[in-house]
Structure 1
Amino acid sequence: MADMSNGTDESKEFKFSHELEKTVKEVVEDLDPLDSPEFDPVAYINEIFPDERSLTFAKHEADSAGKKRRLHSRLNMKLAGVKRDLKSVSDGISRSVRQHSCERVQTKQAVGDAKQSIEALFNKIKAIKDKAEKSERMVQEICRDIKSLDHAKKHLTTTISALMKLHMLVQAVDMLVYMSEKKQYKEVANRLGAVDMLFLDFAQYSSIPKIAELKTTMQKERSKLQKQIVAEFHTYGPNPSVGLDDVALMLREGCFVIQALGPKAKDDLLIWFSRSKLGPYTELFGPGKPAGELRQTDRRYAWLRRTLREYEEQFGNIFPKPWGVPAVLSRDFCLLTKDHLRGVLKAQNNSMDINALVGALQKTIAFEQELQVRFGNVAETITDGSSQGAGMDANAIKMRYKAERDAKDSKSPKFKSMSIVKMDFRKLISSVFYPYLGQYVQLERENIAKLLVQVEKEEKWVPDSKDKDSDGRRSFSCAEKVFIYIKKSLQRCSRLTTGAILFEIAGEYRQGLRDLAALLKSKLPKKADSQLSKSENAICCSVANTAEDCKDIVPGIEEAIKKVVDDKFEEEVDFSPEQEQFAGLVNTAIETVVKGFGYRLGKILHLMARMPWGSWEAVGDQSEYVNQVNSMLSQYVPPVARALSDTYHLFFCNQLAKTAIPLYEEHIFKCKRVNALGAQQLALDVHAIKSIFLAIPRLRGGEEKLSERRLRAFTRIVDRQMGRVTAIVKTLASPTDCLIATFKTLMPRATEADAAETLTKVLYLKGLQKTEQRALVDSYNASVDSKDHVSLDTKNDGRLRKLFKFRSS
C-alpha cells in the first residue's frame, strides 16, 4: 500500500500538456470531475458537505435533508465503487508483477542462448577469413613469377621501341644532313617534320649524351638550312623567258623547308625579301627626292604595281600563295610610304598646296581600295560593294577575281597546313593626311565663294519668255549649280574622311546656302514705295520660286550628310536655320510684289479720293476708278499668279487682299466730304471692288488646280476686310438721327480701340457741324463702356485736320 501511495503521489505530480488536455476534452464529452486536470478535492468535498450539519442531518428536515441524504448515499456508493476499483487494480497489478517475474527468467535464458549463437558465428567467420588469407598468399606466390615476366616484357618492349626510334632518329638526322648538302629540299622539308616528331618522344631523355648530341646537331642543321636557303635567294637571278628553271624549282622546294622550320624562319625570309625589293623605292622616292613630292604620289603607287607585276613574273611560282608575299610587300610599302609622306607633309605644312594635298589623298584612298580588293577579306569586299564597288575600275575588279582564284588554289593538299594572309589596307596610308585636312575646309570655302561669283555673272537675272516652263513658273539656275557642287563635294569628301573634317565642311555648305540666299535677296528691286514693272515682278517671282526649291532641297542635303558623317557628329548636323531663311526669302519676295501692287492701286485710289463726292448728284454705274482697278489687276496679276507655285499663289492672293483693302479704306477717309448720293455711289463701288478682289485667284487660269479649302480661306479674308469697308460706307449713307444706331449695328465689335476714331472720321466725311459731331460722339460714348472704348475729344480740331490731311480743292 505504501508503494501505491507513492505511485499516487507521483501521479499527482505528472502534468499533461495543454494541447493534450484540450484534445481529451473534445473526444470525451462527459468528463468526470475527478478526471479534470484542475480537480481540487477540498473544493469538491466542500461543495458536497458545506458544513458539519450536512454530515449528521435530522430526519424531520424532509425537504432539505432529503437532498443531503441522497448526496450522502451517492457518496457512500462512490466510495464503495472506488474501493472496488482500487481492489481490482491492485489485483491486476499483482497478477502482472507475478507474470512479468516469470517472463523475466525466460527472457534472460533466451538472451544467453543468443549470445552463444553469435559467438559461434564469429568463430566461423574468423575461420573463413583465415582460409581466405591463406588462399590469397598462395595465389600471390603462384602469380609472382608471371608478374615478373610481364614487367620484363614491358620494359623490353619499351627498350626495343626506344632503340628503334633512336635508330630512326639517328638515320633521319644523318639523312637530313646528307640531303641538305645535296640541296634536296623537298625531301628535307618532309623529313623535318618527322625528325621533330621523333624528338618529341625523347623529350624526357634530353640529359642522355647521345640525345643531347643529336639535338645539338639538329639545331645547327636547322640554322644552316635557313642560312643556306636565304643565300640561294641572294644569288638567284630570275630569267622570266626560261620559265621555272632548276634553281627556281629548288627555291620553291626551299620555301617548303622554311615553312617546316617555323614561323620565325618564314618571317625572317620575308623581311629580307621585302627590304631587298623596297630598297630601290626608298632611293627613288625617299624624303628630299624630287619624286617624293605630293604631286608625284601617283608615281609611288605605279611603282608598286610595276613591282608586283615583276614579282608575279619572277617569284610568283617560287613563294607559296598562302604566304601572301605580294600582300606583305604591299603592307611594307604602305608603311614606308606613310613615313615618307609624313615627313613631306610636315616639311610643307606652312606652304602646302591644298590642291596637291587633296589630289594625293584621293589617289591614296583609291590605291588603298585597290589593295583592299586584292589582298583584303574578299568576302567582306563583295558584301560592301554597294559603297565601294561603284568606284572600282576594271583593274580593281580583275584583282578581286584573281584574289578569289588564288584563294581557291591555296586549298590544294600541298598547302593544307597553311593559311592565306589577309590584311586591312584601309586608311593605312591615308590616315597620315587627316591632321592636315584643315586646309581642305578652306579650299571648299573658297570654291563655294568662287562658284557664287561665277553663277552671279552667268545667271540671266532678267527673265526671258523663252526660258519659261509650260506653266509659267521660272527659277534661277544658280541654285541648281550650287546644289550640284555640294552634292559632288559631299561625295568627294565622304570618300576622303567622315569625321570632324566632313562636319566642318558641312558648316561651309551652310554658309554657302546663306550666301546664296543673300545673293537671291539682293536681286529683289530696291525701289521703295514705287510700282514694279512686269520684268521686276518676274524677277521677284523667280527669286521666290528659287528660294522655294532651295527650301525643299535643303532637308535632303542634311539627310545625306547625316548618312555618311560619323555617329558622334550626326545629331549636330542641322540645316533648319538655312531652310527657314529660304522660307523667309519666299515671303519677302512675294511681299515685294504685293508692295508694288499697292503702289499702283494707291495711284488709282488717290484719284478716287479727289472726286467730288460732296456734290454728287446722281447714282449711276460703277465709277471709273473701279474699272481702272479691275484693269490693273487683270493686267498684272495673271503673270505673277502663273509664275508662282500652287502653294504660294494663294499666299500671294491673301497678302494682296490684306494690303489692298485697308488701302482702299484709307483712301475713302481721304475724301473731303461725301453727301448722301456720294455715299450710295461709294456703296455701289465697294460692292464692285469686293467682286473684283474675290476674282483675283481665278485670274491665274486653271481653276481646277485651286484648293477649295484655300479658296475658302481667301474668301474669308476678303469678306472680313471688305465687310468693314461696307459698314463704313453704309454708316456714311445713313441719316444723321439714326447714324449712331447704324454704326453700332454694322460694327458690333464695340471693344475695338479704333471704333471711336472710325466714327469720328465718318462724321467729318458727312460734313456735320462741330456741335453736331460733339453731340453724336457724346451719345456714342455714353452708350458704350468707357473702359473698352476711346473717349473722343472733338475740340482738338487741329489734330483731326492733321490726321485726315485735308487738302484745299
Structure 2
Amino acid sequence: NLSELIDRFVADFKAQGPPKPNTDEGGAVLPSCADLFVYYKKCMVQCSQLSTGEPMIALTTIFQKYLREYAWKILSGNLPKTSSSSGGLTISSLLKEKEGSEVARFTLEELCLICSILSTAEYCLATTQQLEEKLKEKVDVSLTERINLTGEMDTFSTVISSSIQLLVQDLDAACDPALIAMSKMPWQNVEHVGDQSPYVTSVILHIKQNVPIIRDNLASTRKYFTQFCIKFANSFIPKFITHLFKCKPISMVGAEQLLLDTHSLKMVLLDLPSIGSQVVRKAPASYTKIVVKGMTRAEMILKVVMAPHEPLVVFVDNYIKLLTDCNTETFQKILDMKGLKRSEQSSMLELLRQRLPAPPSGTESSSTLSLMAPTPEQESSRIRKLEKLIKKRL
C-alpha cells in the first residue's frame, strides 16, 4: 500500500544516500517521485474501471495524503539544516588576504542535495497538476468540483521556496565576514588607491565557489536558478549598503578605494548568472535591473561622500540629484561617513529639508536619468580620474 511505499522511499534514501555530485545524479530529480506517480496512475486506472463516482473521490483524498507525506518525509525532511556558526574567517585574516582558507557552510554534497530536492519538488508540482486534470477527466462530471489538489501543489511550491532560500542564505553567510571586515577597515588612513581590497576578493571567491555548482545542478530548471540569482542580489546588495554606511570616517582617498571596490563588485554581480561558465549567456533583464539599481545607488552614495561639503547649497543639491531616494536619514549617514560632527550637521539637515523636492506626481524618468548618468558638473576631477582608472583596469 501507499504507506509502505513512502516508508520504502525513506529507507532507500537513507541506504543510498543523497545524489552524487559531479555525476548525472547531481541535482537530478529523485527517482522515487516517478515511482510514486506511476503507482498513482495504476491505482487511478483500476479504480476508474470499477467506478467513476464516490470511490474516485475517496482515492483522491488518499492521493492527497501521500503527496503531502512525500513532500514532508522525502523532500523537506532531507533538506540540510543551516549551521549556526559564521565560518572560521576572522577579520584579521581577511585583512591579511587569507580569505581562501574559509569553506562554504554547506558541503558540495549538501548543495547538490538541495538542488535535487528543488528539482524533485518542481517535477512533483507539475505532475500533481497533471494528476488533478486526469482525475477530473475520469470522475463523473457532477463530482469534478470536489477534485482539488491546490493545497498539495502549494506544499511543493513551499519546498521549492525553502530550497532556494537555503542556497541564498548559504552564499550570503559566506560573504558576511568580508562585509564586516570592510566596515572595520580604517578608511580614514588610506593613502593611495590600489587594486581591489581583500574583502572584495573574498566575496568574489565565494561567488565563484558556489554559483557554478548551483547553476550546473539546476540546469534542468533555469527559472529557479534565475530566482536564486535575484533573491541573492536582493539580499546581498542592501546588506552591502548597510555595511558601507558603517565605513566611517572616510578620507577622500578611502572613498575612492571604496568606489573602485564597489565597481568591481557590481561587475562581478552583473556576471554572476554565467560566472565560471564556458557558455556566456546574457543575464536575465529582471536580474540585471536589480544589480544596476542597487549597486549604482552604492556608487552614488560614495560620490556624495567624496564631494566637498562647501558651498553647502551645492553639496545638498548634488545629493538630491545623485540619489533618487534622497531623505534626511540617508543624508545624515553620509555626513557621518564624511566625519562631520553633529553640531555641523544640523544646519545641513535643515537646508536639505528646505530644498527637498515635492514628491513627483508623474514618472521618475528625470530622477532615473540623473541616477544613471550624472552630469560632468556633478563630478569632481578626482572622481573623473578614478573612473578612468576603473576603465583602464577593466
Give TM-score, length-normalised by structure 1.
0.40
SS at match of 2:81: coil
1:576 matches 2:130: no
Which of 238, 241, 260 is 1:662 aligned to?
A: 238
Amino acid in the other structure paired with 1:499: G
Which residue is 1:464 aligned to? 20
CA contact (8 A) 2:19 2:27 kept: no
Higher relative contact order (CA 8 A, sep 6+): 2
1:633 matches 2:188: no
Runs of 4+ with deviation above 4 angstroms: 785-788
Deviations 1:112-134 (A, max 9, x none): xxxxxxxxxxxxxxxxxxxxxxx
Deviations 1:416-440 (A, max 9, x none): xxxxxxxxxxxxxxxxxxxxxxxxx
Inter-partner Cα distance in structure 1 for 2:279 and 2:287: 14
Deviations 1:162-182 (A, max 9, x none): xxxxxxxxxxxxxxxxxxxxx
- How has the CA–CA distance of structure 1 residues 700 and 526 changed in structure 2, closer, same or farther, with 3 Å as cutoff? same
SS at match of 2:284: helix
Which of 631, 653, 664 is 2:229 aligned to?
A: 653
Deviations 1:150-200 (A, max 9, x none): xxxxxxxxxxxxxxxxxxxxxxxxxxxxxxxxxxxxxxxxxxxxxxxxxxx
Q: Which has the larger radius of gyration?
A: 1
Within 5 Å, which residues of 2 pair with 1:514-525?
A: 514-519=68-73, 520-525=75-80
SS at match of 1:571: helix
Inter-partner Cα distance in structure 2 for 1:581 and 1:634: 32
Which residue is 1:763 aligned to? 335
1:454 matches 2:8: yes
SS at match of 1:718: helix
1:682 matches 2:258: yes
Which residue is 2:81 aligned to? 526
Deviations 1:85-142 (A, max 9, x none): xxxxxxxxxxxxxxxxxxxxxxxxxxxxxxxxxxxxxxxxxxxxxxxxxxxxxxxxxx
- How has the CA–CA distance of structure 1 residues 689 and 475 changed in structure 2, closer, same or farther, with 3 Å as cutoff? same
Inter-partner Cα distance in structure 2 for 1:764 and 1:478: 58
Deviation at 1:787, TM superposition (A): 9.2
Deviation at 1:702, TM superposition (A): 5.5
CA contact (8 A) 1:622 1:688 kept: yes
CA contact (8 A) 1:467 1:474 kept: no
The sequence identity of aligned pairs, in percent, is 29
CA contact (8 A) 2:304 2:319 kept: yes
Amino acid in the other structure paired with 1:601: C
Which residue is 1:415 aligned to? none
SS at match of 1:465: coil
Which residue is 1:441 aligned to? none
Within 5 Å, which residues of 2 pair with 1:447-526?
A: 447-459=1-13, 460-465=16-21, 467-468=23-24, 473-519=27-73, 520-526=75-81
Deviations 1:261-290 (A, max 9, x none): xxxxxxxxxxxxxxxxxxxxxxxxxxxxxx
Deviation at 1:572, TM superposition (A): 2.1
CA contact (8 A) 2:317 2:355 kept: no
Inter-partner Cα distance in structure 2 for 1:646 and 1:454: 31
Which residue is 1:601 aligned to? 175
Inter-partner Cα distance in structure 2 for 1:727 and 1:501: 66
Which residue is 2:286 aligned to? 713
Deviation at 1:562, TM superposition (A): 1.8
CA contact (8 A) 1:613 1:675 kept: yes
SS at match of 1:695: helix
Inter-partner Cα distance in structure 1 for 2:279 and 2:162: 26
1:694 matches 2:270: yes
Inter-partner Cα distance in structure 2 for 1:591 and 1:726: 28
SS at match of 1:617: coil
Q: 5+ unaligned residues in a row in structure 2: which ranges? A: 87-104, 361-394
Inter-partner Cα distance in structure 1 for 2:161 and 2:278: 24
Deviations 1:371-412 (A, max 9, x none): xxxxxxxxxxxxxxxxxxxxxxxxxxxxxxxxxxxxxxxxxx
Structure 1, 774-783 or 736-745: larger mean CA deviation: 736-745
1:730 matches 2:303: yes
CA contact (8 A) 2:189 2:254 kept: yes
CA contact (8 A) 1:642 1:700 kept: no
SS at match of 1:701: coil
Amino acid in the other structure paired with 1:521: S
Within 5 Å, which residues of 2 pair with 1:91-240?
A: none
- How has the CA–CA distance of structure 1 residues 553 and 604 changed in structure 2, closer, same or farther, with 3 Å as cutoff? same
Give TM-score, length-normalised by structure 2.
0.79
CA contact (8 A) 1:476 1:543 kept: yes
Amino acid in the other structure paired with 1:730: K
SS at match of 2:275: helix
Which residue is 1:385 aligned to? none
Which of 186, 191, 198 is 1:612 aligned to?
A: 186
Inter-partner Cα distance in structure 2 for 1:541 and 1:627: 26
Amino acid in the other structure paired with 2:203: V
Deviations 1:555-579 (A, max 9, x none): 2211221222222212321222322
CA contact (8 A) 2:21 2:108 kept: no
Inter-partner Cα distance in structure 1 for 2:119 and 2:76: 12
Which of 97, 118, 122 is 1:548 aligned to?
A: 122
Which residue is 1:741 aligned to? 317
Amino acid in the other structure paired with 1:718: V
Inter-partner Cα distance in structure 1 for 2:273 and 2:129: 30
Amino acid in the other structure paired with 1:762: I
Inter-partner Cα distance in structure 1 for 2:351 and 2:61: 66
Deviations 1:468-503 (A, max 9, x none): 25xx54122222222122112212222332210111
Inter-partner Cα distance in structure 2 for 1:765 and 1:633: 28
Inter-partner Cα distance in structure 1 for 2:348 and 2:77: 53
Deviation at 1:767, TM superposition (A): 1.0
Which of 557, 567, 576 is 2:131 aligned to?
A: 557
CA contact (8 A) 1:613 1:674 kept: yes
Inter-partner Cα distance in structure 2 for 1:779 and 1:528: 48
Amino acid in the other structure paired with 2:143: F
CA contact (8 A) 2:304 2:334 kept: yes
Inter-partner Cα distance in structure 2 for 1:700 and 1:577: 39
